[in-house]
Amino acid sequence: MIKKIKASLSEKLLLAFVLVLAIFTFGSFFSIKNKCLFVKKYDPKNLKFEKPKNIAVLNAPCGNVIIELYPELAPNSVDRFRMLINKGEYDNVSFHRVIKDVLVQAGDLEFGKKNSLNYAYIGSGKSNYGTIDSEVDNKFDFKKGSVALARKDKKNTEDSQFFILLQDAPLYEGEYTPVGKVIYGLEVLKKIKYMDKTEYVLRPDFINTFKMLIN
């Protein structure tokens, strides 16, 4: 005769906790995989570029976003952007502001880091390098995929934050400093988490890594 072993209350609670944790972990993994299911993957090693020294690779939850920088349009701004990329400043920084099918914004190095998110101030943070002057170009077309430095209400307040357009925005021409354009992977950005009723995202997605193809 097999003797039945009764589990104690603490053992039952522990088992229930493990089951809930397993379900949550699997659900989160499946959710990320599911939203990225049909997103095309781009490996820069398999692509050819005319100016490889101007190529930056942003890795987001659903894959790589490959950006060509335009130092001829905004030399000082691109130098700042490139410097922050090379220093790894954008790694684990949130996409804190997302407007569905319009733009994604990131680069708050003060309040937007994964390990120190501050929802009260996110979007207002800065780097340790100070602001730089605007380098607007009235001839630059702010088309879908354009990458530009964000700023405060007035010009000459650019720092580390940047945005990427998911649709054309002609009203931005002559207002913001362009630093480049997405040439592969725009669909990756369309999968970035957004909120229906606000531009600022609760529990946002993050930049995994942001690196220059050639340092």
pLDDT in tens, 64-76: 999 999 999 999 9
Instruction: Say how far apart CA 160 and CA 79 lie, in whole Å.
Output: 11
Q: pLDDT digit string (tens) for 155-191?
A: 999 999 999 999 999 999 999 999 999 999 999 999 9
Instruction: Say how far apart CA 215 and CA 57 lie, in whole Å.
Output: 12
At 26 the pLDDT is 47
Does domain 44-212 sit in CATH 2.40.100.10?
yes
pTM to 2 decimals? 0.84
97 φ, ψ (degrees, to nearest 5): -130, 120
Asked if residue 51 lies in contact with residue 200, where contact means CB atoms within 8 angstroms, the answer is: no
Q: Is the pLDDT of residue 213 over 70?
A: yes
Name the residue ranges covered by the structural domains of the chain: 8-37, 44-212
At 29 the pLDDT is 45
Of 84, 87, 86, 28, which Cα lies nearest the Cα of 61?
Answer: 28
Burial level of 43, CB count in 10 A (0-12/13-18/19+)?
Answer: exposed
Instruction: Say how far apart CA 203 and CA 119 lie, in whole Å.
Output: 9
Neighbour tally for 132: CB within 10 Å? 20
Average pLDDT over residues 143-160: 97
Q: pLDDT digit string (tens) for 75-108?
A: 999 999 999 999 999 999 999 999 999 999 999 9
